[in-house]
Structure 1
Amino acid sequence: MNTKLLKQKILDLAIRGKLTQQLKSDGNTADLLKEISSACHPERSAKGAKSKDLKQIIPLDKSEAPFEIPENWEWVRLGDVCELISGQDFPPEKYNAEKKGLPYITGASNFVNNHVILNRWTEYPSVIAQKGDILLVCKGSGYGNYVYADFEKAHIARQIMAIRISDKTLNAYVYNFLGSQYERLKFQGNGLVPGIARSVVLDLTVPLPPLAEQQRIVAKIEEAFAEIDAIEKNKELLKTHIKQTRQKILDLAIHGKLVPQNKSDEPASVLLERITRDNPHYEKIEDEPFEIPENWYWVALGSLSSLITKGTTPRGGNVAYIDNGVGFIRAENIPGMLKINSSNMKFIDSATHQGFLARSIIKEGDILITIAGSLGRTAIVHKSDLPLNTNQAISIVRLYLKKDDFLKYVVYALNSSFIQELLLNQTKVTSIPNLTLEIIQRCQIPLPPLNEQSRIVAKIEELFSTLDQMERNLV
């Protein structure tokens, strides 16, 4: 369920009069407009000057409206029912971080989770937003975002406009109306210099119900949004549970508890003897981290590998990249578990690949592990991925045995919480955390018999497929 789209649908129904029932006792919006017309409508410039507009509000022609609304509603321009206050920038010497003066709101960075974060103040306020105003970002990143002013008073910068409406019910209705217009405002502001002009805000056409129906609409929106937020919260909880379940599955797998053992399986010790017969890197593990089935065996990753190395940066750095050629893997190309993400791949020429970077030519069946920045993410290299090379943020692990299920089992084991913690606890602490090749070589893995590895991989993929489907259904 896309909760963002659901909220937009509710707002769209609300402004069309389809979210609540119309009642004859509500009267009509024409009466409300007379009340608004009798009030004073000051409009401030960036310098705070005031002018009064007491002219009668004339409803717009319904025949030219973008959609039909109930008979007792009217179309008006937003500028007819609000005061729009444009902000003014200050140079650094006119604001401070010591809470001296009034808060100074500069832009979208002050809007977090529908609240205003106060982190600057000024002793020279001139354009004042006050509690209850609707603050709209009109320039810079985040234009189109809006929030209620939940402070008493603050100076606003030119990136902000404050929409002020004296009636609380009308104010709440307009706030929700702006939500229905978010995409429109973003589109209209998407120019060479992104931003929303005053005229665009003032000219927004508002389908306006009688005040009593506005109250019902706002209450209905708040009720519906609260239910959607609860769903969203449950979605996030479920995502967390799915992630934890994946880890639990991998944890059961490396402890020999995911599938039953079969006495007829060739013991892992026999498999290991074949693999390590001519391996000068074989290292017997003396202290076993935890108990495993009798026909399993603890082994260091280096004992299973003919090569563990890493890449380097090509000469010239970014200048060495070309539009097409040999794929050059970086940490961002390894999102985790089995596959390479080639969507933002860089490329190098064949001469660099075969020459300066010959040591880190990647082959089919290699396991890649991120060893700098985001640590411990993995991928298996397939024939369709080649040709490839990599940099020093990636370790290349080349196993003796290229069997598909063997590669997958090792990668699933490396992604288990136990081995991830084992790796991260040995991280070399520098300005950028990293894993050394020695840490990768000495990484301890519980090795099942080959046949059991296949059963484990099949069970993991069966369970992960179910979890993947659950996750897709959450979108």
Structure 2
Amino acid sequence: MPNGWCKTALSEIITLLSGRDLQPTQYNSFEKGIPYITGASNIDNNTIIINRWTTAPITISHKGDLLITCKGTIGKLAFNSVGDLHIARQFMSLQFIEPLVSKYLFYCLEERISAIKQMDNGLIPGIDRSIILNQIIQLPPLAEQYRIVAEIERWFALIDTIEKSKEGLETAIKQTKSKILDLAIHGKLVPQDPKDEPASEQLRRINPKAQITCDNGHSRKLPQSWTWVKGKNIFAPMKSTKPTNEKFQYIDIDSIDNKRQIISEVKTIKTVNAPSRANRYTQKNDVVFSMVRPYLRNIAKVTNDNCIASTGFYVCSSIPQILHPDYCYYLMISDNVVNGLNQFMKGDNSPSINKGHIDEWLFPLPPLAEQQRIVQKIEKMFFILDDIQNALEV
């Protein structure tokens, strides 16, 4: 230890008071009497939350004491900042004897909470009084305790600033991606090429019966070579299928990582245990769009052939001569599509849309060549943003 420091047991420098439970008839919830706390739920982010009061003539803790939860959820710490306070037996109150800076002890205990928890051998988690009283700490001179606390809090403040900056940057990345997609599906991300075959002509050539909606609204204005088209005219009809082998690959809602909008896990299930909803045929590059709570954005591109998806999904299988599969994916995760389809939700417990809503929804369709340019541009920009995102997570 540095010169001037010493080792001491906490029993030499604190008074430790144990809490005492009250009967339900001894406390109330209408702010009459002395505040009363009963468990870990009364501590949030090292701050005391009061929701009970008592008129019982017993006060256990005083302002400035350090409280620690010692039964059930153990090891939560908070200073008594409210004044006279009655504590249940789930708490112990540490009262300080000079020369000790209370926050110095707080940081000492916070640093060794994990070790203290491991000393508990009971069926119900608990911290015995002796464990706290026998803790040995290294005690610097009083003035140095103040300097140590100040330095710890300076660094913690800097860390908090960095964390908030990270959160702000993550939000900005998310908003930027959303804006990129919005520009992309409105023809503002890449320049148009007059040599491209207009999307309407491509559509008529591939599907003469397709219903093509003219661009006749200012708020829905698209570039000259683009067109509005219903989902049923750009997606191949969904197919029903049943698993036939001993096992099959299954995609359900739990398979989707809706933060990254990818399939995080394709489940392997025995055919005899196949859920009744395992019925949607999918192939590689299809996009599955959950019709149950669509606002949760359980949307992803299928990466394997021969998977079966839940009937809770609309399977967007691109007609190749009309719709690029990657453009289809970016189209389906865009706010324009997700927020637009949300308006059709019905139901209280699991609000949902149905197949007809996507079939009849109007999608902005650029020429196929421009779809490819849009995809290349999006992926280039998303690569940079993902690189920044990954750096924040290191």
Give the TM-score normalised by structure 2: 0.86
Q: In the superposition, relative to structure 1, how do residues 166 and 419 fare at CA in structure 2: closer, same or farther (>3 Å)?
A: farther
Q: Which shifted more, 367-376 or 447-456?
A: 367-376
> 2:302 aligned with 1:381, yes or no?
yes
> 2:100 aligned with 1:180, yes or no?
no
Distance in 1 separating the partners of 2:215 and 2:194:
25
Contact (CA 8 Å) 1:329, 1:346: kept in 2 or not? yes
**Which residue in the other structure is 1:326 paired with?**
248
* Matching residue's letter, 1:298: W
Distance in 2 separating the partners of 1:458 and 1:164:
65
Give the counterpart of 2:196 among 244, 250, 265. Answer: 265
Q: In the superposition, relative to structure 1, how do residues 161 and 439 fare at CA in structure 2: closer, same or farther (>3 Å)?
A: farther
Distance in 1 separating the partners of 2:111 and 2:26:
37
Aligned sequence identity (%): 37
- SS at 2:137 equivalent: strand
> 2:19 aligned with 1:87, yes or no?
yes
**Which residue in the other structure is 2:262 paired with?**
339
Contact (CA 8 Å) 1:285, 1:300: kept in 2 or not? no
1:397-456 Cα deviation digits (max 9, x unpaired): 3333399x8222122122222322212233225233222222222333211111211221
Give the counterpart of 1:472 among 387, 390, 393. Answer: 390
Q: Map of 1:292-303 to 2, 5 A cutoff?
A: 292-303=222-233
What root-mean-square deviation, in Å, do the aligned CA atoms of Structure 1 and Structure 2 show?
3.2
Distance in 2 separating the partners of 1:413 and 1:442:
15
Contact (CA 8 Å) 2:4, 2:140: kept in 1 or not? yes
1:216-249 Cα deviation digits (max 9, x unpaired): 1112222222222222221211111111111111
> 2:143 aligned with 1:223, yes or no?
no
Greater fraction strand: 2
**Which residue in the other structure is 1:401 paired with?**
320
Distance in 2 separating the partners of 1:152 and 1:398:
65
- C-alpha deviation, 1:379, in angstroms: 0.5
Q: In the superposition, relative to structure 1, how do residues 210 and 331 fare at CA in structure 2: closer, same or farther (>3 Å)?
A: same
Distance in 1 separating the partners of 2:21 and 2:315:
53
1:353-407 Cα deviation digits (max 9, x unpaired): 4x955633433333211222453331011216x5333253x3333333399x822
**Which residue in the other structure is 2:283 paired with?**
363
Q: Map of 1:216-255 to 2, 5 A cutoff?
A: 216-255=147-186
- C-alpha deviation, 1:101, in angstroms: 2.7
Give the counterpart of 1:428 among 334, 339, 346. Answer: 346
* Matching residue's letter, 1:304: I
Give the counterpart of 1:450 among 363, 368, 373. Answer: 368
Q: In the superposition, relative to structure 1, how do residues 309 and 157 fare at CA in structure 2: closer, same or farther (>3 Å)?
A: farther
- C-alpha deviation, 1:275, in angstroms: 4.7
**Which residue in the other structure is 1:414 paired with?**
332
Specify every segment of 5 or more residues in structure 1 that has no aligned partner in the other structure, as ranges: 1-68, 312-323
- C-alpha deviation, 1:462, in angstroms: 1.5
Distance in 2 separating the partners of 1:108 and 1:211:
31
Q: Map of 1:4-403 to 2, 5 A cutoff?
A: 69-90=1-22, 92-124=24-56, 126=58, 128-141=60-73, 143-167=74-98, 170-189=101-120, 193-277=124-208, 282=211, 284=213, 288=217, 289-308=219-238, 325-336=247-258, 338-342=261-265, 348-351=269-272, 353=274, 356-357=276-277, 359-373=279-293, 374-383=295-304, 386-390=306-310, 392=312, 394-401=313-320
1:99-131 Cα deviation digits (max 9, x unpaired): 233222233322223322212233336462222
Contact (CA 8 Å) 2:38, 2:88: kept in 1 or not? yes
* Matching residue's letter, 2:354: T
Distance in 1 separating the partners of 2:95 and 2:376:
62
1:171-204 Cα deviation digits (max 9, x unpaired): 1110121232233334445875434333322222
- SS at 1:326 equivalent: strand
- SS at 2:257 equivalent: coil
Q: Which shifted more, 128-137 or 205-214?
A: 128-137
Give the TM-score normalised by structure 1: 0.72
Q: In the superposition, relative to structure 1, how do residues 228 and 272 fare at CA in structure 2: closer, same or farther (>3 Å)?
A: same
* Matching residue's letter, 1:366: D
Specify every segment of 5 or more residues in structure 2 that has no aligned partner in the other structure, as ranges: none
Distance in 2 separating the partners of 1:87 and 1:391:
55
- C-alpha deviation, 1:74, in angstroms: 0.8
Q: In the superposition, relative to structure 1, how do residues 402 and 349 fare at CA in structure 2: closer, same or farther (>3 Å)?
A: farther
Q: Which shifted more, 185-194 or 73-82?
A: 185-194
1:285-339 Cα deviation digits (max 9, x unpaired): 676552111111112222212235899xxxxxxxxxxxx9434433232223652
Distance in 1 separating the partners of 2:212 and 2:388:
42
- SS at 2:263 equivalent: coil
